[in-house]
Structure formats: structure tokens, C-alpha cells
Amino acid sequence: MSSVYVGMSGGVDSSLTAALLVEAGHDVTGVYMKNWTQDLPGMRCPWADDLADAKRVAVHLGIDFKVFDFEKEYKQNVVDYMIAEYTAGRTPNPDIMCNQEIKFKLFLDTALEDGAEYVATGHYARTEHGDLKLAEDANKDQTYFLYRVTKEALEKTLFPLGGYTKPQVRKMAEERGLVTAGKKDSVGICFVGQIGMREFLSQYVTTKPGDIIDKQTNKVLGRHDGAIFYTLGQRHGLDIGGGLPYYVVGKDMAKNEVYVSTNLNDENLWAKQIKLESIHWISGTSFTGPCHVRIRHRAPLIDAEISADGVIMLANAERAITPGQSAVLYSGTTCLGGGIVV
């Protein structure tokens, strides 16, 4: 069988991934990617605990285990990108950039150079001849986060969990005596999961207070502590109180102003057309015509059509499509690729 390097995060998904590949007869090596180890105020980074759990599973399975240190590259390609995007007033998705730059580029290249024939991860997705396919578990499907991975990388990648649901994965891990079977899933990227994006960004970006302005009356309703912390459609955390709920309908980074409205039908909140930049097609060939689009993780697939110049026309207007986010395109069960919302 094949030599497979499994990215082991210390969670149940990657643990079972390694176990299933061992059972299939592959020569499996577990790899912990050391991407982030910094503690932040009020939060201890759990990387050492995760590494210990990954090691324990590797010992239980009787497989070799290695640590690849990607901390420098992760900071440059994921964290710095995220900070720059927020500073520019956009809302990026660092998990997508992590998959593009770290897991399916740096990890893949390093593993292949070290003798692997394939890499594997615990993502809920499927591959077929280099195509990216929806997972069996629609609730856990992670193709949205994988749309920027290349066809060449996917041809060298195994996703053993693509045909299972999360409850099945936990049950199978328990049956195999894996210590991570009941471990709680990590939420988002490790350095943000427990403290929140606002607290994280505050460590790296100097912000200043500014006005929160009612778009309809031009009246100053309150103060914010940095426009970068607010995103289109946001309702909570405005602290302006009174009457009907307010929603963020725009912001001016140069003026450091955030604009809000009680009007849920505000034209800035809804869009029927999406312009994309940095478009990536998994097959390497651009696609035009009818398709489905997903504008955020776990959002429903929406009927749409994409033109040659990267403009998506939606069948119906959608709310809070935010610059910096990704719009991901599908044809049937195949993820075609996608781009960044302008």
C-alpha cells in the first residue's frame, strides 16, 4: 500500500483518519503541524495539550510520529494576511488561507519531500480524480474551506472521513479506544477560538474610537472602539440600545465611522450580484453559466450564474454578503472553486 502522512491535530477527526488508514494497510506517519504556540492575555494556547493527544493516538496505533514546525510561515501567510484584511475593513476567512498556504501546500510539499506518497487530513470532504466533492454529512461539509486547494494537491490527498457523519466518527473512535473520541471540537482557528476576534486583533492593531451613525438620520448614536471590529449585517455588540435593533450597513475606514440602520431592507444589506477577485478554479479551467454558490460556511447552496468576468448573479437577493469573505461555487456535488467578495 501507500506511504501516507496524516495531519494529526490532536482531535477526534484526524485521530480516526489515521486509524482508518492503518486498517486499510497503508504505511502511516502521524504529523503534528506546529502552527501557533503563543499565549494571549486571558488565554493559554492549547498546542502542547493537542500535541500530547496526537502523540498518544500515534503510540496507540503503533505509527511513526513527527512534528513539522510551520510557525513562521503560518504567521506570515495566515495571521498577517488576516490582520491586513481586517485593517483594510474587510472580513477574511483565515481557515481558507491556512488550507491554501499551510496544509495543502507547505505540509504537502514537506511530506512528499520526506517520502510520503499522499497526505491525509480529517476534513469532511471527498475527492474523485482530483475533483473536490461534497461530504456525506451536509452539516459538517468543509469544502467551503477547501476551495482554494489545487487539483494537483487534491490528487495527492486522502479524506477518509468524507463518507461519514460526525456521530459515526465519534462512535468509531470510541470503538477503537482512541483517547480523543470524546474530545470537544476546536472552534475556529486556535488563537481566536476562546478569546474572540476582537481581543485577538487588539493585540496587533492600534485602533481608535469613532462614531456610530444612523444612516437614515445622520445622527450620532454612540461610539465604537475601532471600525475594524464591525462587519456588515452585525447586530450584537453595538451598545447603542433603544427601540428597534440596529444593524451595521456600512463603514468608512478613512473616517473611522460605522453606519447603522433599523431598516432590514437597507440596500447595503442586500445584494443580488457578487463581484469576485482572486478567483481560483480547482480544475484550472474557468467556469461560466448556471451553478450554485455558498456565501459562508454551512449556508445553503443558492441558485446562481457566473459570468466570464467573475460576476455572480443570484436568483434571489442575499443578506450581508461581506467584502473579504469567500463565495464558493458548486455544480452538483462538485466544488468548482470560488473567489473573494469585492
Catalytic positions, written as ranges: 98, 190
DSSP 3-state helix, strand, coil percentages of the chain (rounded to 5)?
30, 30, 40
Of 274, 275, 294, whose CA–CA distance to 337 is shortest? 294
The β-bridge partners of 211 are 223
d(CA 33, CA 7): 7
Return the ∠ at Cα 244 (arms to 240 and 245), rounded to 5°.
Answer: 60
The β-bridge partners of 316 are none
Backbone angles phi, psi at 115, to 5 degrees: 115, 0
In this structure, is the dihedral angle defined by the CA atoms of residues 147, 151, 152 and 155, taken in order, positive or negative?
positive
Residue type, 163: G
Specify whether the CB–CB gap between 123 and 159 falls below 8 A: yes
Backbone angles phi, psi at 233, to 5 degrees: 90, -5
Q: Please give the full DSSP string across 64-119, using - where no structure is assigned.
A: EEEEEE-HHHHIIIIIHHHHHHHHTT----HHHHHIIIIIIIIHHHHHHHTT-SEE
User: Which run of H or of E encompasses 14?
Assistant: helix 12-23
Specify whether the CB–CB gap between 294 and 144 falls below 8 A: yes
3-state secondary structure of 190: coil
